[in-house]
Every structure is written in C-alpha cells, then in structure tokens.
Amino acid sequence: MNGYVQNLTYDKLFSTPCARDQYAPLPSLNKSSIFSFIGSGDFSLCSDTVKEHLNKTGCTSTTCSFDNVYQPVPIPTSTKFIAISAWYTTFSSLAPNISLSPNKDGNYDFNSVNFSQIKTAISSICNQPWSDIPEPNKYRPFLCFNSMYHWTLLEHGYSMRDENLKNFHIVKSINSNDIGWTLGYMINQTNAIDPQFRPKRLIT
C-alpha cells in the first residue's frame, strides 16, 4: 500500500520460516533494532519482485509451472479451479474495484473478467494513498501484496490465460456449507495417506 508503514522488531522479522538460509540476518545486526517498511505502491516493482520468487527457469520436464515442478502448459480450458480461504478474504475486498459481485452463495465466477481488468484493479489498490483510507480493517494493509501474489501466481506461475478464468471460482460455500482452510488441510492430509491404509468408503 502506498505510504503504509509497518514497524517490526528483530524477533518478529527474523523468527519467520522465510528468514533462513540466504535471507538469514547478518550477525552484525542489532537485535534491539526496529525495522520500518514503507509501501511504495509501485505495481510494476511489486509484480517483478513476486515473479523473481516464482522461478521459471531450469525446467527439466517438457513443461513446468515454477521451481521445476511439472505442469501441462497451456492448461486445458476445461480444467476447473476452486480457490478458498485467504483467496476469498482477499478477493472480496478487491472485487468492488472490478465491479464483480458474488452470486447467491457468496461465490465469485469469472466468466466476464480477464487478467487485464484484475491487474488494473490491483494497481489502483496499490497506488491508493494509505492516508486516504478512513477505516481500514486488519486485512487492508496487505490487500495490495496479497492480491498481487495471488494473481501473479496464476498468470505467471501457472501460466493461466483469460480462457482459464471461465472455469476459475473463488468460493465461500458449497451447498450452504462454508469452505475454509481446515477443509483444504484435511483433504491434503488425506491425500498423503498411503492408499493401502485408507479406510474403505461405506455404502449406505
């Protein structure tokens, strides 16, 4: 966000999993220091920074997404994608800038939206002066980066095209059941179970 200031202590900044290896702090840093981060609102610079962390080089397969992970490219337009949890929280704040409303279930469909429109909306959010936002909620300071990361991940990381957005959905609920990160975590953990140890489905 343009002009937003976040002050972090040494422990808060360097105790995160990301601050390791090449990002580990120098021994000479004062551990009582306060680090101030000031948002520039620069859409292009932020986009380029995100892309640097989605390594598209060194693919040893025929096609990859990023970090040398195999993925068919281009993605078939019939492939369906559903995004949940933080995707929903972030996009629900971005959607008014695209004039996109949720359906009756609170979910977002992208039949009439393209990447260009979404990036224009993100750029507008990023460039908005922080001082012009009267009553920001706790998510507002990070709306610029989170939106940038999500949509750069899709377009640059996964090589999605406008045609793929027609089968892309950001979902709050399915059949009146709220969908969140806990369900995603459970599905992920279930997939990690060796097939021979998975309980058989009961037929009733």
**What average pLDDT does this structure show over 179-201?**
76
The reply to whether 35 and 49 lie within a common domain is no
The reply to whether 31 and 76 lie within a common domain is no
- Report pLDDT digits (tens) over 11-56: 998 888 878 777 778 888 899 999 999 999 999 999 999 999 999 9
The reply to whether 46 and 138 lie within a common domain is yes
Residue 51 lies in a domain: yes
Q: What per-residue string of b and e applies to 165-201 under the rule 16 or more CB within 10 Å gives b?
A: bbbbbbbbeeeeeebeeeeeeeeeeeeeeeeeeeeee
Residue 202 lies in a domain: no
Distance CA 33, CA 4 (A): 20
CB 118 within 8 A of CB 151: yes
Distance CA 78, CA 80 (A): 6
Beta bridge partners of 36: 7
Query: Whole-prediction pTM value?
Result: 0.84
The reply to whether 151 and 51 lie within a common domain is yes
Residue 54 lies in a domain: yes
What is the phi-psi region of residue 58: left when phi exceeds 0, alpha when psi lies from -120 to 50, beta otherwise? Answer: left
> In the chain, how many domains are there?
2
Residue 31 lies in a domain: yes
The reply to whether 55 and 144 lie within a common domain is yes
Element containing residue 65 per DSSP (H, E): none
Element containing residue 88 per DSSP (H, E): helix 86-94
The reply to whether 71 and 90 lie within a common domain is yes
Residue 24: give the domain boundaries: 1-39
Residue 204 lies in a domain: no
What CATH number is given to the structural domain containing 91?
3.30.420.150
The reply to whether 87 and 160 lie within a common domain is yes
The reply to whether 94 and 137 lie within a common domain is yes
- Report pLDDT digits (tens) over 80-135: 999 999 999 999 999 999 989 999 999 999 999 999 999 999 999 999 999 999 88
The reply to whether 50 and 146 lie within a common domain is yes
The chain-wide mean pLDDT, for the chain, equals 90
The reply to whether 4 and 57 lie within a common domain is no
